[in-house]
Amino acid sequence: MQISVIMPVYNIEKYLPEAIESILNQTLSDFELIILDDKSTDNTLGVAYEYADKDRRIRVIELDEHKKQGEGRNRGIEEAKGEYIMFLDGDDIAKPQFLEKMHTAIVSSESDICMCKFQTLDDKSKKISDNHPYGHIEVNEKMLKNGFSPKDIISQIFTIPNVVWNKIYKRSFLKNKDIKLPGVITICEDIIFGIIATISAEKIFYVDESLLLYRINRPNASSIGCDESFFDNFTMYEILEKKFKEIGIYEEIKKPFLMDAIYNLLYFFERIKPQYRKSFYKKMQEFYNDCYQKEFSTKEKCLRFDATTYFHLNRVMSNGYLKYMILNFIDKIFKIEKWYGGYAIVVFSKKEFWVDNPKSGLF
């Protein structure tokens, strides 16, 4: 068997038929579809069995208890019989040549991973777009033709699509490297898997074509919960930092890692539900203090790293929750940003002026 498509599902009965049919209508027919139901409370399981009764390529697995999505995908990897593994969410749509083109690319290039472009499908407006912020990767013509190694894209590691559903993986690669999804978090588990798989691969290939529709703005989607699951971001960065140090690339990847952690936490802080915001801020303050002490230790060193980053670190580390919220409210009214060679930020509320002086010698 060529490909095992792993599809974890939970309360997705409305969208599941379209996702399943998009796989059954593929131009490549040598595959199995493994649907793992995470104790759905609607008719998701019934829909899955209805399709399995009609097509022997579909296997339905009922998980014993409601678990995190990463554990469901890990079970799928264990159950997979295909030489290659792909993942698809129960609300996404694969274009007809998704499997065939991805399989052809990974086989002919002899790669461990092959990834492709994708488009977003807005569930509310039904608009299809190419403009997902993490939907692209910068590759030159040589890389497009011959593939590339993780070192070729190390500076992009936090901006490329680190999701699992736009890729095909060689199963032996995942097994030999013991790459699994962490079962300890609810969100971001595929980001961890995607990054670790990417930096562990010997060769990666990129298909410069959109072969998948990723649904956004769906009611009850895990990515828009805005609840305590957002705290999983702290665990994600702890796991990644430990892994980067284990394989000896932390110093090389430190700057994009720190930048992603600092700004991503700010992003989720702004979006988490009000009842969790104060606790999230306290956790973020601890994370920033630890980051500052370990990686910078002095104002001058942090300023040379990036002045705007220093401003955000200092703002969080120096103020309690209430004062931080007041300052941010004032900044929304009086904040002015300008360019002076490097990046300069003027914040009226604190009368501070930081200039990112592009000196060399730190990173």
Domain map (residue ranges) of the chain: 3-224, 228-355
Mean pLDDT of 59-85: 89
Q: Summarize pLDDT for 113-158 with one digit per residue, the tens.
A: 999 999 999 999 999 998 776 778 889 999 999 999 999 998 899 9
Does the pTM exceed 0.75? yes
Length of the chain: 363
221 or 35: which leads in pLDDT: 35
DSSP state of 223: G
Strand partners, 62: 37
Q: What is the pLDDT of residue 342?
A: 45
Mean of all residue pLDDT scores within the chain: 87
Q: What is the pLDDT of residue 217?
A: 86
CA angle 47, 49, 51 (to 5 degrees): 75
Q: For 5-9, 67-71, 209-213, which range has the lowest pLDDT when averaged over its residues?
A: 67-71
Q: How many CB atoms lie within 10 A of CB 80?
A: 23
Statement: residue 308 has pLDDT above 80? no
Class of domain 3-224: alpha beta
* pLDDT band at residue 174 under the 50/70/90 scheme: very high
Mean pLDDT of 147-176: 93
Q: What is the pLDDT of residue 349?
A: 52
Q: Write the burial class of residue 331 (CB in 10 Å: 0-12 exposed, 13-18 middle, 19+ buried).
A: middle
Distances (CA, A) of 293 to 195, 302, 305, 307, 313: 26, 10, 14, 17, 11
* pLDDT band at residue 213 under the 50/70/90 scheme: very high
294 or 104: which leads in pLDDT: 104
d(CA 130, CA 121): 9
d(CA 223, CA 229): 9
Q: Where are the alpha helices (DSSP H) in 80-184?
A: 98-109, 141-146, 171-176
Residue burial 147-186, b: 16+ Cβ < 10 Å; e: rest: bbebeebeeebbebbbbbbbbbbbbebbeeeebbbbeebb
